[in-house]
Amino acid sequence: AQTVTQSQPEMSVQEAETVTLSCTYDTSENNYYLFWYKQPPSRQMILVIRQEAYKQQNATENRFSVNFQKAAKSFSLKISDSQLGDTAMYFCAFMKLGAGNQFYFGTGTSLTVIP
């Protein structure tokens, strides 16, 4: 079974500062994908960034980057130059190929950006 653990239920960061959200996962699979989604109060899950497990290079999307450590099964999200609009719930998700390509989500980290 796949499990995803987010050990930080809540975090806060000053506007314009950098924050890192942690995520670890457990799997016996070798080929999989990892995602970070944000869920603002509007409830819609929004894709932040995606990483293929077979790629060693860490994914980046503008102010968002990941630190993917496959051997350690760690997938942290770094948000640089934090903005007020980054305030949201952040979910780490694991996708194993096959059987519906389902996401396994962590329990989320509530991030608050302080003006």
Partner 1 sequence: DAGVTQSPTHLIKTRGQHVTLRCSPISGHKSVSWYQQVLGQGPQFIFQYYEKEERGRGNFPDRFSARQFPNYSSELNVNALLLGDSALYLCASSPGQGIYGYTFGSGTRLTVV
Q: Tell me the per-residue interface mask from 49 to 68 with partner 1, x by CB under 8 A, - otherwise.
A: -x------------------
Return phi, psi of residue 41, to 5°: -55, -20
Half-sphere exposure of 111 (CA within 13 A, CB side): 29
Listed ranges 11-19, 60-68, 70-78, 87-95: which one lies at the site for partner 1 (CB under 8 A):
87-95
Residue that the structure tokens 């060693």 belong to:
56
Q: Which is nearer to partner 1, 28 or 101 (CB)?
A: 101
Restricted to residues 33-52, the positions that interact with partner 1 (CB under 8 A) are 33, 35, 37, 42-47, 50
How many other CB atoms sit within 10 Å of the CB of residue 92?
28
Cα–Cα dist 63/83, whole Å: 10
Site size with partner 1, rule: CB under 8 A: 25
Q: Fill in the DSSP letter of residue 80.
A: -
Residue 4 binds partner 1 (CB under 8 A): yes
Q: Which is nearer to partner 1, 82 or 108 (CB)?
A: 108
Cα–Cα dist 16/99, whole Å: 41
Binding residues for partner 1, rule: CB under 8 A, are 4, 33, 35, 37, 42-47, 50, 91, 93, 95, 97, 99-108
